[in-house]
C-alpha cells in the first residue's frame, strides 16, 4: 500500500489551528478578567473616597461641637438675623418690674379678709417722665401697690391712668432715677404670623422669667370680667408660655422692642396666650398720662355672632361669612342709621338662635369675615364721631349703610 503524501503535514496544521484558537480564547478570557478587575477596582476606589469624605466631614462636625463646648459654659441660641435670646434678656431685664398689692374682700357679715395680688410691668419714658406700664386687671381694686425693680429696691406706686376697655394702666413711682431703664415701644402693625416673640415677666412670683414663642394669630378678640361685657379687640395670639403673674409684662420682638403687653391665658390650653398690641399703648399713652383715662373707643351699639354655613342654610341666605347682627341698642349709632337686628328665633342643632338681622360683610371696603375682623378694624382704624360705610346683606341684597360712630359709655 502506498502511503498518502502530506497526511502528516495536514495533521500538524490542524493541531496548530486548535492551539491558536485555544490561545485566543484564553487571551480573551484574560483580557475580560483584567477589564472587569479594573472596573471593580475603580468602583471600590470611588466608594473608599466617598467614605473617607464622609468620615472627614463627621470629624469636622465633632471638632466644632467640642470647640463650642470648651469655649462656652452654656449654649447661646441664635435666631433670625443673628439675634441672641440670651443677649436680648441681658439688654431688657433691668426694665421689667414686679408689681404687688393687697386686695380687700368681705364675707357675708361684711368682715374684711385680705389676699395678695401680683403681676408684671415695664419701664417706659413718656416725654420727660418715667412711668410703669402694666395691665389694668393687675391693679384693679388693689391697695398698697408697690413696684420692685431688679435691683431689689421696692417703692410705693399709684395708678396714674387706666383704661379697662383695653386692660391698660400706667403707674407713677417715686424712685431713684437710676432705677428706670425704659424700653422702646414700636408699632405692632409690623408683626406677622410666625414672627418670633419673647415674653418676660414674673410668673408665680418668679421674677425675671423669660419665655419665647411665635405670633400664632393676629386680630383676636378676647373678653375679660373688667370690661363690663365689651370685648378687647385686635389682640395678639402667641405660643409664648404665659402664666399667672406674667400679666402686664412686655411682649418683645427680637430687637428687644415692645410689641405688646401679655394679658391673658386660656385655662387648660397648651401654648395659647394673648397680648394687648403695642399700637393700643401708643394710641392711648398720652391720654392715660395726662388725663388719667381714655375715652376714644368707637362704638356701634350692636351685638351679634359669626355667620356659619348652618346659619346661612337655616336663614336661606347666600352668604356664609360675616357678622350677623342679633341686637341693636336703642338710640345707638347703628339704630340711628337704620341697621336691623334679629326678629325671630330658630333652632339649629339643638341651640336657639336669633336670626333675621343684617349681616355685616364689609367696612370701608374691607372684607369682614367674622366679629374679630369687625371689632379689630374699628379699634385700629376708627374713632368716635367718624362716619364709616358698613356693607351689609339684607334679604339677600347687598347694601352700603353710612354709620356715624359713637364712643363706648364709661364703665360704672
Looking at the fold, whether 307 and 273 belong to one and the same domain comes out as no
Catalytic residues: 137, 167, 247
pLDDT digits (tens, 9 = 90+) for 278-326: 999 999 999 999 999 999 999 999 999 999 999 999 899 999 999 999 9
267: in domain: yes
Residue 40 lies in a domain: no
> Residues 306, 272: one domain?
no
Does residue 132 have a pLDDT over 60? yes
CATH code for the domain of 256: 2.40.10.10
Domain range holding 102?
94-179
Does 86 reside within a domain? no
Mark whether 123 and 197 lie in a shared domain. no
Same domain (yes/no): 136, 194: no
283 closest CA partner among 219, 234, 317, 242? 234
Residue at a domain's end among 255, 290, 325 = 290
Q: Is residue 269 part of a domain?
A: yes
Within this chain, do residues 116 and 206 fall inside the same structural domain, yes or no?
Answer: no
Does residue 30 lie within any of the structural domains?
Answer: no
264 and 356, same structural domain?
no
Q: What is the pLDDT of residues 19-45, one digit of tens each?
A: 555 555 566 555 655 555 555 555 555
Distance CA 364, CA 208 (A): 44
For the stretch 336-344, contacts whose Cβ atoms lie closer than 8 Å and that sit 24 or more positions apart, written own/partner, are 336/404, 337/390, 337/401, 337/402, 337/403, 337/404, 338/401, 339/302, 339/390, 339/392, 339/401, 339/403, 340/394, 341/302, 341/303
Residue 314 resides in a domain: yes
pLDDT score for 229 = 83
234: left (phi over 0), alpha (psi -120 to 50) or beta: left
Within a domain: residue 62? no
Please say if the pLDDT value at position 185 is more than 80.
yes
Q: 408: helix, coil or strand?
A: coil
For residue 7, what pLDDT is reported?
47
Same domain as 197, residue 243: yes
Sign of CA dihedral 282, 257, 215, 267: negative
Average pLDDT of the segment spanning 318-341: 96
Please tell me the predicted confidence (pLDDT) of residue 74.
Answer: 39
| Number of domains the chain is built from | 3
Tell me which of 22-31, 263-272, 346-355 is least confident.
22-31
C-alpha cell at 33: 478578567
C-alpha Rg value of the chain to the nearest Å: 38
Query: What CATH number did the domain enclosing 334 receive?
Result: 2.30.42.10
Percentage of the chain with pLDDT > 90?
A: 61
Distances (CA, A) of 10 to 22, 147, 184: 19, 124, 112
> Counting Cβ atoms within 10 Å, is residue 211 exposed (0-12), middle (13-18) or buried (19+)?
buried
Same domain, 319 and 358: yes
Is pLDDT larger for residue 333 or for residue 53? Answer: 333
364: DSSP letter = T
- Using the 3D structure, point to which of 256, 290, 324 is the last residue of a domain: 290
Q: What is the pLDDT of residue 49?
A: 60
Q: Nearest to residue 131, comparing CAs of 248, 236, 263, 227?
A: 248
Q: What is the pLDDT of residues 84-108, one digit of tens each?
A: 889 999 999 999 999 999 998 888 8
Residue that finishes a domain, picked among 290, 314, 348: 290
Question: Same domain, yes or no, for 360 and 317?
Answer: yes
pLDDT at position 6: 43
Shared-domain flag, residues 338 and 401: yes
Beta bridge partners, 389, equal: 402
Q: Is residue 368 located within the same domain as residue 345?
A: yes
| Mean residue pLDDT across the chain | 84
Segment 113-141 shows an average pLDDT of 93
Question: pLDDT tens for residues 239-265?
Answer: 988 887 888 999 999 999 999 999 877
For residue 89, tell me if it sits in a domain.
Answer: no
The pLDDT of residue 401 is above 70: yes
**Is there a single domain that holds both residue 158 and residue 196?**
no
Residue 242: its pLDDT value, please? Answer: 82
Give the range among 43-57, 171-185, 227-241, 393-407 with minimum mean pLDDT: 43-57
- Residue 33 confidence (pLDDT): 56
Amino acid at each position: 500500500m502506498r502511503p498518502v503524501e502530506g497526511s502528516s503535514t495536514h495533521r500538524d496544521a490542524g493541531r496548530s489551528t486548535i492551539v491558536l484558537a485555544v490561545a485566543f480564547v484564553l487571551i480573551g478570557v484574560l483580557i475580560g478578567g483584567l477589564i472587569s478587575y479594573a472596573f471593580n477596582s475603580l468602583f471600590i476606589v470611588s466608594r473608599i473616597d466617598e467614605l473617607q469624605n464622609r468620615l472627614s466631614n463627621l470629624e469636622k462636625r465633632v471638632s466644632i461641637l467640642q470647640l463650642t463646648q470648651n469655649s462656652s459654659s452654656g449654649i447661646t441660641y441664635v435666631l433670625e438675623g443673628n439675634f441672641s435670646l440670651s443677649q436680648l434678656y441681658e439688654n431688657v431685664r433691668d426694665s421689667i418690674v414686679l408689681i404687688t398689692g393687697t386686695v380687700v374682700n368681705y364675707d357675708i357679715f361684711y368682715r374684711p379678709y385680705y389676699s395678695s395680688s401680683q403681676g408684671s410691668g415695664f419701664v417706659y419714658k413718656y416725654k420727660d417722665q418715667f412711668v410703669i406700664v402694666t395691665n389694668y386687671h393687675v391693679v384693679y381694686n388693689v391697695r398698697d401697690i408697690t413696684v420692685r425693680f431688679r435691683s431689689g429696691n421696692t417703692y410705693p406706686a399709684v395708678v396714674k391712668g387706666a383704661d379697662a376697655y383695653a386692660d391698660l394702666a400706667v403707674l407713677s413711682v417715686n424712685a431713684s432715677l437710676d432705677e428706670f431703664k425704659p424700653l422702646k415701644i414700636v408699632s405692632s402693625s409690623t408683626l406677622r404670623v410666625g414672627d418670633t416673640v419673647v415674653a418676660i415677666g414674673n410668673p408665680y412670683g418668679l421674677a425675671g422669667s423669660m419665655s419665647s414663642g411665635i405670633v400664632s394669630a393676629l386680630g383676636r378678640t378676647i373678653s375679660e370680667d373688667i370690661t363690663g361685657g365689651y370685648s378687647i379687640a385686635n389682640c395678639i395670639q402667641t405660643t409664648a408660655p404665659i402664666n399667672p403673674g406674667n400679666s402686664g409684662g412686655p411682649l418683645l420682638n427680637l430687637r428687644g422692642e415692645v410689641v405688646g403687653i401679655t394679658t391673658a391665658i386660656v385655662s387648660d390650653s397648651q401654648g395659647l396666650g394673648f397680648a394687648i398690641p403695642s399700637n393700643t399703648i401708643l394710641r392711648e399713652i398720652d391720654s392715660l398720662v395726662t388725663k388719667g383715662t381714655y375715652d376714644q373707643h368707637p362704638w356701634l351699639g350692636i351685638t351679634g355672632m359669626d355667620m356659619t354655613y348652618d346659619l346661612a342654610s337655616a336663614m336661606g341666605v347666600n352668604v356664609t361669612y360675616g357678622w350677623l347682627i342679633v341686637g341693636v341698642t336703642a338710640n345707638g349709632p347703628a339704630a340711628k342709621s337704620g341697621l336691623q337686628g334679629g326678629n325671630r328665633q330658630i333652632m339649629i342643632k339643638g341651640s336657639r338662635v336669633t336670626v333675621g338681622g343684617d349681616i355685616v360683610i364689609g367696612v370701608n371696603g374691607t372684607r369682614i369675615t367674622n366679629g374679630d375682623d369687625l371689632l379689630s378694624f374699628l379699634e385700629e382704624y376708627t374713632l368716635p364721631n367718624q362716619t364709616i360705610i358698613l356693607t351689609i346683606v339684607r334679604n339677600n341684597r347687598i347694601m352700603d349703610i353710612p354709620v356715624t360712630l359713637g364712643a363706648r359709655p364709661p364703665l360704672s
